[in-house]
Amino acid sequence: MPGLSYEEIIAEPQSLVSDTELYGTLQKVFGFREFRPDQERIIRAILEKKDVFAVMPTGGGKSLCYQLPAVLLPGTCMVISPLISLMKDQVDSARSNGIHAAYLNSSLSAEEQSLVLNDLLSNSLDLLYAAPERFTLNHFQEMLGQVNISMVVIDEAHCISEWGHDFRPDYLSLSSLVTLFPAVPVTAFTATATHKVQQDILDKLKLRSPFIVRASFDRTNLFYDIRFKENISKQLVTLLKNNPNKAGIIYRTSRKSVNETATMLQAKGFRALPYHAGLNEDERKKNQEAFIRDEADVIVATIAFGMGIDKSNIRFVIHADLPKSIENYYQETGRAGRDGEPAQCIMLFSQSDIPKVRFFIDTIVDETERTRALTALQKVISFASTTVCRRKTLLDYFGETYPHDKCNSCDICLGTREVVDCTVEAQMLLSAIARTEERFGATHIVDIVIGSKNKKIYDFGHDRLKTWGVGKDRSKKFWRLLIDELLAQKVIAKSEGLYPALYFLEKAVPVLKNEAKVEMVRIQEKKTAKRKRIEETGTYDNDLFELLRALRKQLADEQGIPPYIVFSDRSLRDMAALLPRSPEDMLSVSGVGEVKLQRYGKQFLDLIRRYCEEHPEQTKQP
């Protein structure tokens, strides 16, 4: 072979694993028939001993990308993961599929640690999770020298970048991994990386001609919905009533509002618990555990919540206040529906929240930080105010072009927002602003339009204005809303200072002259038929589903693991739809591999059989 050196010939990718072996393991160990997008390419690259860098959204199925090769390759796969709580979850989940997995971190006693190290030294582990700081310990590095390491995984790789939102100095030491493990693939995974962060990660980790994958950030099972925030308590209660027994997170900005909302929901009989950094550690842990174990349905939390949890069956995420940035919004909503089942992301948005956030931003001392926060806020506001498909806007933010005009899975595309022409009403407001020489704030302008008889109106003689009382047949609230809308559409603006006055922007004059229209979005609170359909995809027996859920909970409690590790919501739904009668039937349920069949198959099959006997009509097989 002229022109090719010996090294190049042996470096030729060799397919070590046949399709039968690959798909066989997928089915046997994980219980899945197909790969999610990009999983197969990543796995094949790893099996060809290539370094890999993969950006995949939350719920994209990153774990499988390395757990499957970890099973197939001889030796131990080292996973570096930043969070203790996640390690345990990942290990529980791998073990539930029969994979030999363990973790090493400070939560283990010295005795437990030495047991794990023994397993490692005897090469009996497929997977070992460890925190990054361990790699700075010489004796740990030496020990790794004595074992057969099959590959290295850096989970949450964005933690190495100062540009990301989760920088961890510990992660910087990971740049020596490629020298420490010259002969095995080093792979890095993250769910959040703008192109800038991506480049930074690649530079810092020094991966060797890595196979790079940027999966689509489109979370197709998430429904994005932004609603007008009117009466937050009432809206939350309605939302929870519409989602009985479903797990969800409600994000709020302040600790105080978290407490208030949680207390309010508890008083209404919902299983809701608070979570924020002001609670003591025990309480935080207790509340988080209750949520993970399906004992509380709803967690009301500040953004301190979510990083350390892997709960896959979260069915809704509600932002009751403005998120800090689009990245935050994407990450926080991303915690819904990791299992791939439909989930809702609802933001309650009101222009009147903006001053509060501005106030906090103004207290940031560092100027660059302050500017960054302000720009981020403005992007969130324009995201919430736009009439373009939410999905398209979000993907656009991450530099991805959504190939369609409509996604049909957001409030904009489904047209659940009703647009009404408010040009005449806008003219009334603008006229009031003009006639008072752009010197008054929103409250006073509304008072003029509704014909208020308060002292300030008389003091200024504003009861003699032509616009005084022209809008008295509409509510104060309507006028406030319209002012918000005019601000959002940049028809008018608000001056800085203690008493901000409304003033004209360029667009105001054309509106007054009837040359431009003003439309306002009215949000219908009623469910549309279409939206209902999204929530109820697939036909399955709901009563049976609830029974299966109860059994899952019981088995999970017996073993001290979260319910979603026993079976995912998807698996239970499949069972309630397919009504498996035999172990073979059971294997065709998504997420049921051989180990899970052996562990839980009988109990679930018994329950299904009993249910079918008791409900012959409902469960007749076609």
Phi (first) and psi of residue 599, to 5 degrees:
-75, -45
Nearest-CB residue to ligand ADP?
A: 61
Whether 287 and 273 have beta carbons less than 8 Å apart is answered as yes
Q: Using CB under 5 A as the criterion, which residues of the chain lie in contact with Zn ion when the complex forms?
A: 389, 391, 407, 410, 413
Give whichever of 415 and 538 is closer to ligand ADP, judged by the CB atom.
538
> Letter for the amino acid at 115?
L
**410 is in the binding site of which of Zn ion, ligand ADP, none (Cβ under 5 to 8 A by kind)?**
Zn ion
Give whichever of 294 and 339 is closer to ligand ADP, judged by the CB atom.
339
**389 is in the binding site of which of ligand ADP, Zn ion, none (Cβ under 5 to 8 A by kind)?**
Zn ion
Q: Please give the helix or strand (H or E) that residue 324 lies within, else none.
A: none
Phi (first) and psi of residue 343, to 5 degrees:
-150, 155
Distance CA 121, CA 130 (A): 15
**407 is in the binding site of which of Zn ion, ligand ADP, none (Cβ under 5 to 8 A by kind)?**
Zn ion
Measured from the CB of residue 313, what is the shortest distance to ligand ADP in angstroms? 9
Phi (first) and psi of residue 387, to 5 degrees:
-110, 20
Strands (E), 448-583: 492-494, 502-504, 519-523
Give whichever of 351 and 590 is closer to ligand ADP, judged by the CB atom.
590
Distance CA 551, CA 421 (A): 53
Give whichever of 35 and 211 is closer to ligand ADP, judged by the CB atom.
35
Q: Using CB under 6 A as the criterion, which residues of the chain lie in contact with ligand ADP when the complex forms?
A: 32, 34-36, 39, 56, 58-64, 310, 312, 338-340, 568, 590
Name which of 148, 151, 164, 248 is nearest 198 in CA terms: 164
Measured from the CB of residue 334, what is the shortest distance to ligand ADP in angstroms? 8
Measured from the CB of residue 391, what is the shortest distance to ligand ADP in angstroms? 19
**413 is in the binding site of which of ligand ADP, Zn ion, none (Cβ under 5 to 8 A by kind)?**
Zn ion
What separation in angstroms does the CA of 214 have from each of 43, 195, 217, 411, 472?
14, 10, 8, 27, 56
Strands (E), 100-185: 101-104, 127-130, 149-154
Give whichever of 116 and 592 is closer to ligand ADP, judged by the CB atom.
592
Measured from the CB of residue 467, what is the shortest distance to Zn ion in angstroms? 39
Give whichever of 79 and 239 is closer to ligand ADP, judged by the CB atom.
79
**56 is in the binding site of which of Zn ion, ligand ADP, none (Cβ under 5 to 8 A by kind)?**
ligand ADP
**596 is in the binding site of which of ligand ADP, Zn ion, none (Cβ under 5 to 8 A by kind)?**
none
For the four alpha carbons of 427, 431, 437 and 440, in that order, the dihedral sign comes to negative
Whether 59 and 317 have beta carbons less than 8 Å apart is answered as no
Residue 521, helix vs strand vs coil: strand
Measured from the CB of residue 349, what is the shortest distance to ligand ADP in angstroms? 27
**275 is in the binding site of which of ligand ADP, Zn ion, none (Cβ under 5 to 8 A by kind)?**
none
**61 is in the binding site of which of Zn ion, ligand ADP, none (Cβ under 5 to 8 A by kind)?**
ligand ADP
Give whichever of 192 and 416 is closer to Zn ion, judged by the CB atom.
416
H/E/C letters for each residue in 567-593?
CCHHHHHHHHHHCCCCHHHHHCCCCCC
Distance CA 498, CA 414 (A): 41
Measured from the CB of residue 195, what is the shortest distance to ligand ADP in angstroms? 20
Measured from the CB of residue 525, what is the shortest distance to Zn ion in angstroms? 20
The residue behind tokens 């009509």 is 617
Measured from the CB of residue 410, what is the shortest distance to Zn ion in angstroms? 3
